[in-house]
Amino acid sequence: MLELKNIYKYYNPGTVNEMCLFKDFNLTVKDGEFLSVVGSNGSGKTSMLNIICGSISIESGNIILDGKDITNAKEFRRNEKIGRVYQNPALGTCPSMTILENMSLADNKGKKFGLGRGVNKQRIEYYRELLRPLNLGLEDKMHVKVGSLSGGQRQAMALLMSTMTPIEFLILDEHTAALDPKTAEIIMELTDKIVKEKKLTTIMVTHNLRYAVEYGNRLLMMHQGESVIDCAGEEKAAMNIDDILEKFNEISIECGN
């Protein structure tokens, strides 16, 4: 279970450009929840993910993961339990290393990076098995550098790599936004499959309202650092795109857009 308690976040504090994003923001994500987050630009979606992962600091408040306060834990320490896929496919892989080397790196997460061989030959077949269901032909390109793959192929790898070792939390930061509609669809189906198979607690930020409606069992709409829609279970299942769009327009009119 992940809890964000009384989060306060200011940008440029102490200057004329000071901007308050979160004012007493609270969120609880229960184990096994697949939370889709939508909202306009600047509503605080990505900032929320960055706060959870520790990429940005907060002014006050507590972040509690499985009962442990991780508010002051460093980003790389939090990543022991958190996997994250970014919008930019280049951020999830190493371009100058081969597919095999990338998979080996990810496979070793949580273990010691010592002087043992980087690639465990016995695991190669396992990596191939992981890559085969993607139907991207990656299993036959184990010695190809990831830098020469397409964005969709890299994102698929990034998703596999971030979920390869046992993690408790999966953070998806608009991970289909940079992909063409067809590839995005493939990546989204893969995401759903992995999340269900591994029973991962997931937070997915997306601008695609259809994905937000179709996938996940809880939906959150954010606006100016607050959640304006938060529904789960049957209520979420009954939601459709028009409901969300309506709320979106309501907010936009308030803002004068």
Partner 1 sequence: MDFFITIIEQGLIYGILALGVYITYKILDFPDLTTDGSFPLGAAVTAALITRGVNPYLTLPIAFVAGALAGVCTGLIHVKGRVRDLLSGIIMMTALWTINLRIAGTSNVPLFSKETIFKNNFLAGLFPDAMGSYSTLIVIVILALLTKVVLDFYMKSKSGFLLRAVGDNEKLVTALAKDQGNVKILGLAIANGLVALSGCIFCQEERVFEISMGTGAVVIGLASVIIGTSLFRNLTFMKATTSVVIGSVLYKACTAVAMKNFEPQDMKLITAVLFLIVLLISMERKKKVKINA
90 binds partner 1 (CB under 8 A): yes
Q: Is 96 exposed, middle or buried (0-12, 13-18, 19+ CB in 10 A)?
A: exposed
The strand order across the sheet containing 68-69 reads: 19-29, 2-11, 60-65, 68-69
- From the list 12, 17, 117, 238, which residue makes contact with partner 1 (rule: CB under 8 A)? 117
Cβ-based neighbours of 27, under 8 Å, separated by 6 or more: 2, 3, 4, 48, 220, 227
Of residues 143 and 182, the one with the C-beta less far from partner 1? 143
Query: Which residues within the stretch 15-74 sit at the binding site for partner 1 (CB under 8 A)?
Result: 74
115 binds partner 1 (CB under 8 A): yes
Phi/psi for 177 (5° steps) reads -65, -30
State the amino acid at position 32 in one-letter form.
G
Contacting range for partner 1; rule: CB under 8 A; set: 1-9, 88-96, 207-215, 227-235: 88-96
130 binds partner 1 (CB under 8 A): no
- From the list 56, 71, 87, 109, which residue makes contact with partner 1 (rule: CB under 8 A)? 109
101 binds partner 1 (CB under 8 A): yes
Contacting range for partner 1; rule: CB under 8 A; set: 10-18, 40-48, 80-88, 201-209: 80-88
- From the list 75, 125, 189, 214, which residue makes contact with partner 1 (rule: CB under 8 A)? 75
Alpha carbon distances (Å) from 120 to 28, 105, 142, 143: 39, 10, 13, 14
Q: Which residues of the shown chain bind partner 1 in the complex (CB under 8 A)? A: 74-77, 79-80, 83-84, 86, 90-97, 101, 104-106, 108-110, 112-119, 162
